[in-house]
Amino acid sequence: MSLETVLGEAKDIVKKVVPAGVDLTRVDFEGPVVVIYTRNIDVFADNQDIVRQLAQGLRRRVAIRPDPSLLADVEEAEEIIRNIIPEEAKISNIYFEDETGEVTIEALSPGLVIGKQGTLLNDIKKKIGWAPKVVRAPPIPSKTVDEIRQYLRSIHDDRQDFLRRTGRRISREPSPGEQYVRITSLGGFRQVGRSASLLMTRESKVLVDCGVDVSAENNGAPYLHAPELMPLESLDAVILTHAHLDHCGIIPILYKYGYEGPIYCTAPSRDLSSLLQLDYIKVAFGEGKKPPYESPQIRQAVRNTIPLKYGETTDIAPDVRLTLQNAGHILGSATTHFHIGDGLYNVAITGDIKFERTWLFNPAVNKFPRLETLIMEATYGGYHDVQPSRQEAAKRLKEIAKRVLGRGGKLLIPVFAVGRSQEVMLVLEELTRKGQIPRVPVYLDGMIWEATAIHAAYPEYLNNQLRTQIFQSGENPFLSDMFERVDSNDMRSNICDDPDPCVVLATSGMMNGGPIMEYFKAWADNPKHSLIFVGFNAEGTLARRIQKQAREITVNDKGKPLTLKIKMDVETIDGFSGHSDRLQLLNYVGSMEPRPERVLIGHGEEHKCLDLASSLYKKFGMETRAPYNLETLRLK
Amino acid sequence: MSLETVLGEAKDIVKKVVPAGVDLTRVDFEGPVVVIYTRNIDVFADNQDIVRQLAQGLRRRVAIRPDPSLLADVEEAEEIIRNIIPEEAKISNIYFEDETGEVTIEALSPGLVIGKQGTLLNDIKKKIGWAPKVVRAPPIPSKTVDEIRQYLRSIHDDRQDFLRRTGRRISREPSPGEQYVRITSLGGFRQVGRSASLLMTRESKVLVDCGVDVSAENNGAPYLHAPELMPLESLDAVILTHAHLDHCGIIPILYKYGYEGPIYCTAPSRDLSSLLQLDYIKVAFGEGKKPPYESPQIRQAVRNTIPLKYGETTDIAPDVRLTLQNAGHILGSATTHFHIGDGLYNVAITGDIKFERTWLFNPAVNKFPRLETLIMEATYGGYHDVQPSRQEAAKRLKEIAKRVLGRGGKLLIPVFAVGRSQEVMLVLEELTRKGQIPRVPVYLDGMIWEATAIHAAYPEYLNNQLRTQIFQSGENPFLSDMFERVDSNDMRSNICDDPDPCVVLATSGMMNGGPIMEYFKAWADNPKHSLIFVGFNAEGTLARRIQKQAREITVNDKGKPLTLKIKMDVETIDGFSGHSDRLQLLNYVGSMEPRPERVLIGHGEEHKCLDLASSLYKKFGMETRAPYNLETLRLK
């Protein structure tokens, strides 16, 4: 749809909806949103129904903005805002954006800024002309969230250009001819790592995830040189399901090789992935390897990200509409649903899913308006991959913690920074709060603190119960003073030497380096302490060797080999995984609405993908397939 | 391999093979051939073993040419040639090519020019310096063959440039990294028409066939806009299996949209396809449609064709070697065998195959040095698709001809110009020669004469028996004076009105227009005559309606409707098909050496592809699959 058509149609619709004299001064695209400028902003502020009708009529997301001539002077406007907003909202910052006529209000309690059903915001809008936008001031300061917000402000004009270009591209007239839908497996099929799927229609190309296989000998990238992906400029969109490196780790390289388009994901996925990508290149440098991209490309990825909320349907190409839904796996993780053509076809790609309510998240969504093909993960799709429940896992953690802390020992828990750490934190906080385990300090070392800060910045992505706890009872478990951040070598040494019981959560999760090693070296030979594995350990890692009963190991100690006798307890607690186990995967499909006609299986070792494919076929009679990497299937 | 490396290696090998002082002055690529210029041409002429050892050492096809300083004066050279060659060879033309130092000798009997084991040619080479090349002067003048030879001479320099560019591209250093083999179905899968398959490795892209579905409502082209094919410049090679429009009909369009590379096929496939392509655009113009390409693109296709002989293994990309083998289907039809990487993988694509000796051709080759995946046709792959033998078909033709000609009637046989016509001609010639049917004129109308002339120009592509008959007994059945070309409207009218018995072979094969209609209008109401169908008639064609017992039909007669009562006999003779029937397809795979691990089925209606896939799986236990169009399978 061209700009002129949109303007014309908007005027027609407005004419039908409001009495007369409403003046639309400009229409533009900002990414997938149609922005309409008007001199009669009050008419729209009074009547949200007009906006709804405009959106329905244009079949687009619509934003109404005041014509610049209506905007109050900045100083005056700020005073009005501070008068209207109650003090309890705790405004931490206000800034104005000339070009869009928006004012961003950063507050500790955004709900209080918005007011009941948006009344305060509407009031502000009417009085100052500027359109108010509310963002949460993070309760734990997050360097990542701060820097990203600052960066986005600093490149405001550039980003507006990008959004307009993207909007125009999405609105291009589709070429005529037979329509079809194809999916190409570019990585992460019959394997875990380097996830990448290319959805192709006659008109558009959409890449879903672009991860790295960190265990690979070579670069671990997906098959990005596949000719159907080339040139990268021909891609309409990149979608990121969640911020783990096996899904997001290679995305910045796309900007190195010519991609200039958008990334669609949730806001927390944007923030977490830039954190992990920066760490990924830091680690590569540290190991003397040349990283596949550098920080300018990570910044460009941030600049080009268009954040979406769960359930928000958005045009991403002339013939493709995307809706993200909660995947329950980590903060901001999403299942992608594509509606292609006007009723032509529907595809969903699960990303990684947890089909169980966890301490952090609601279970993955498996209800869609329509669905023909489902592409799903099979990490635990194997015949024997049944895991204990969340409750059983927590019970085991409680028992071990009681025993070890009770005897004056320490709990050392190697974890990944994102997901499992926060889950274990919540369990420990609850057990402590309820007096079921002794109250001891819980030290967070590595990126865990920063990742937790990002969780705290986006409480709307947590599960209902946790959200209620935070918003209504004002109890944010992440803010508990039992958690302490380890932020210096001295502090780490002190903790190692401290004789009192404590818990340490530290990276890396598989003990291939990171701060966890310092604690391990200090405590390994003491049978009072306990080392607890809560996640999957890959073959070849130190964690796997210890888990497999190695009782003497040699590690690198400042360049010299150091042999350690392991006398501390070694325990494994299953059931903390962010992945659905086999039964949950089967339930996810079994209770799906509507039941898909076809299921493609990926993200699992080969025999697990085949196991799951065959079980789904036998149980539900649907067509299933476990493609190889580099195959293309015709879906429609 | 770079030019410098080739020159260096060639010199090393020569050093090992010849005593000393052999001077190599220049090395260059001409398409897949390494051309070596030398001042000591006599050393090579005397010792063909050196050339063989060079080819083996370089792992390339090698041609040795004299250094230009050694070439005799043109007039003198021509005199020497005419003195050496015996008069019976019947030289029709001699022309010199400065740049390559080649002299082309066109003769009615090329064998006599060559001499026993090439003795005469070697003699000429030694005496004049020029490298003699022998081409056959066609026994029936073919406008197509003549024009193509003239055209190629006229663009000699241009073509040399093209060959050098192609040679350099083939010799590029392959990029490092994981190797793989993929195949994409771009057309002609689960359908007949618009055949096109894309073979992709990490390094190269090869398109096999690019046909048109002439029965399609729209343009009938394969999915050429598929992104894996784009840009067309990225293609390394186009291979044509044979000259039917459903395999060659769209090739010239590639040159319209940016392809500049080579087409590999047999020389008769080149000539026949340019004949059919020119006719295709003529027919489109005639029907008031815009053809998808014009004659300049057909000429470019001819310019860029690198003709290969059966069994000649040729590098077509840094990691792909192609060998064409006889497919038994039509003149010059080939099965393509790809050897990929150094022992990495082997794929064969059958094109259309006849696995039975016919009057014209040897049966399709099904022995390969190695083979993992076979991609095969399934035109007659359905459960009920068993056809009578060639002998039975000939017997029926004999009985009908005896009966109809005996009662003074005429035989009217609608045929396609290429393949079936020549088959029927041979049977009629043999029956007549042996006195089994009365000797009557056999009129050839439409493109049949020209297509037959092309057959006569390439006797080396005919079966052993026919070749022996032509070369050793000097009996070329195509030259029989019973065949008469219809070359004017007057002649056609006279034949229609002539009361004497005769046979007419005329196009189009399915009676949707063409000269066949004039004869049919003249003879339809006379029960003395007979209309004989020898091929497949598609649904919706006039031929199909008549075959299905329509006894009154309305045709277009110079713009007016004309109703015809059909009183002439209507007969169908099965068994003349150029396609293997179901049993032959099963035998082809069953007796294959080696037995492939995997068979992909295409070129057949959907249920026939599925029938054949399931039968091959059950009978031979190999993996089989019938891909949809636009799918990509990973072979390795």
Confidence of residue B92 (pLDDT cuts 50, 70, 90): confident
pLDDT at residue B286 is higher than 90? no
Q: Which residues of B touch A227 (CB under 8 A)?
A: 200, 205, 227-230, 234
Dihedral in degrees, nearest 10, Cα atoms B397, B400, B405, B411: -70
Nearest to A346 by CA among A364, A320, A377: A320
Cβ-defined contact of B633 to A634 (cutoff 8 Å): no
* Residue keyed to tokens 């894996």: B228
CB A635 within 8 A of CB A181: yes
pLDDT at residue B179 is higher than 80? yes
Chain A nearest CA to B628, separation (Å) = 7
Instruction: Report pLDDT digits (tens) over B313-368.
Output: 999 999 999 999 999 999 999 999 999 998 999 999 999 999 999 999 999 999 99
Q: What does the pLDDT read at residue B74?
A: 87
Beta strands A320-326 and A334-340: pairing type? antiparallel
At B118, list the tokens: 């090439």
Instruction: Report pLDDT digits (tens) over B387-418.
Output: 998 899 999 999 999 999 999 999 999 998 88
Q: Which residues of A touch B228 (CB under 8 A)?
A: 226-228, 632
* Residue keyed to tokens 């080479």: B125
Count of pairs with CB atoms under 8 A, one residue in A, one in B: 46
Residue A182 has its nearest CB partner, among B180, B630, B633, at B630
Q: What does the pLDDT read at residue A97?
A: 78
Give the SS3 label for residue B164. helix
Cβ neighbour number for residue B367 with a 10 Å cutoff: 10
Q: What does the pLDDT read at residue B19?
A: 64
Q: What does the pLDDT read at residue A463?
A: 93
Q: What does the pLDDT read at residue B99?
A: 65
Q: What is the DSSP letter of B359?
A: S
| Mean pLDDT estimate for chain B | 91
d(CA A417, CA A421): 6
Q: Chain centroid to CA A144: how far?
A: 14
Cβ neighbour number for residue B26 with a 10 Å cutoff: 13
Cβ-defined contact of A631 to B629 (cutoff 8 Å): no
Nearest to A536 by CA among A395, A419, A422, A411: A419
CB A276 within 8 A of CB A245: yes
Question: For residues B545-576, b (16+ Cβ closer than 10 Å) or e, as one string?
Answer: ebbeeeeebebeeeeeeeebebebbbbebbbb
Instruction: Report pLDDT digits (tens) over B527-546.
Output: 999 999 998 787 778 898 99
Q: Which residues of A touch B230 (CB under 8 A)?
A: 227, 230
Instruction: Report pLDDT digits (tens) over B426-452.
Output: 999 999 999 999 999 999 998 999 999
Chain B nearest CA to A227, separation (Å) = 5
Q: What is the DSSP letter of A166?
A: H
Cβ-defined contact of A180 to B229 (cutoff 8 Å): no
Cβ-defined contact of A228 to B225 (cutoff 8 Å): no
d(CA B554, CA B545): 11
Residue B631 has its nearest CB partner, among A218, A629, A634, at A634
The model's pTM: 0.89
Q: What does the pLDDT read at residue A612?
A: 98
Q: What does the pLDDT read at residue A74?
A: 87
d(CA B431, CA B481): 14
Residue B634 has its nearest CB partner, among A180, A228, A628, at A628
Cβ-defined contact of B200 to A227 (cutoff 8 Å): yes
Beta strands B102-107 and B91-97: pairing type? antiparallel
Length of chain A: 636
Nearest to B530 by CA among B481, B478, B573: B573
CB B360 within 8 A of CB B354: no
Chain A positions contacting chain B at CB under 8 Å are 180, 182, 184, 200, 202, 205, 218, 225-230, 234, 628-634
Rounded to whole angstroms, the maximal C-alpha distance in chain B is 84
Length of chain B: 636
Q: On the CB side of B196, how many CA atoms lie within 13 Å of its CA?
A: 29
Q: Which residues of A touch B623 (CB under 8 A)?
A: none
At A149, list the tokens: 């917000």
Q: What is the mean pLDDT of residues B258-276?
A: 97
Q: Is A259 exposed, middle or buried (0-12, 13-18, 19+ CB in 10 A)?
A: buried
d(CA B174, CA B202): 9
Nearest to B167 by CA among B318, B309, B13: B318
CB A189 within 8 A of CB A625: no
d(CA B250, CA B256): 11
Give the whole-number percent of chain B exceeding pLDDT 70: 99
pLDDT at residue B153 is higher than 90? no
Q: What does the pLDDT read at residue A99?
A: 65
d(CA A353, CA A424): 18
Q: What does the pLDDT read at residue B6?
A: 72
Q: Which has more confidence, A119 or B253? A: B253
- By C-alpha distance, the chain B residue nearest A225 is B202
Chain B nearest CA to A636, separation (Å) = 10
- Listed as ranges, residues in chain A with pLDDT below 50 are none
- By C-alpha distance, the chain A residue nearest B181 is A630
Q: What does the pLDDT read at residue B567?
A: 96
Residues 6+ apart with CB under 8 A from A297: A252, A253, A255, A256
Q: Which residues of A touch B633 (CB under 8 A)?
A: 631
At B128, list the tokens: 């004049």
Residue A227 has its nearest CB partner, among B177, B228, B628, at B228
Nearest-5° Cα angle at B102, B96 to B107: 70
Chain B positions contacting chain A at CB under 8 Å are 177, 180, 182, 184, 200, 202, 205, 225-230, 234, 628-634
- By C-alpha distance, the chain A residue nearest B219 is A177
- By C-alpha distance, the chain B residue nearest A180 is B630
Residues 6+ apart with CB under 8 A from B320: B199, B201, B204, B206, B236, B237, B338, B339, B340
Output phi, psi for A303, to 5 deg: -60, -40
Residue A631 has its nearest CB partner, among B234, B628, B632, at B632
Q: What is the ipTM of this complex?
A: 0.85
Chain A nearest CA to B630, separation (Å) = 6
Q: In sequence order, what DSSP letters do the residues of A420-488 get, joined into one string?
A: HHHHHHHHHHHHHHTTSS----EEEESTHHHHHHHHHH-GGGS-HHHHHHHHTS---GGG-TTEEE--S
Give the whole-number percent of chain B exceeding pLDDT 90: 64
Q: What does the pLDDT read at residue A18?
A: 66
At B577, list the tokens: 């098909």
Q: What does the pLDDT read at residue B1?
A: 61
Residue B234 has its nearest CB partner, among A226, A227, A629, at A227
Chain A nearest CA to B269, separation (Å) = 29
Ramachandran quadrant class, A53 (left: phi over 0; alpha: psi -120 to 50; beta: rest): alpha
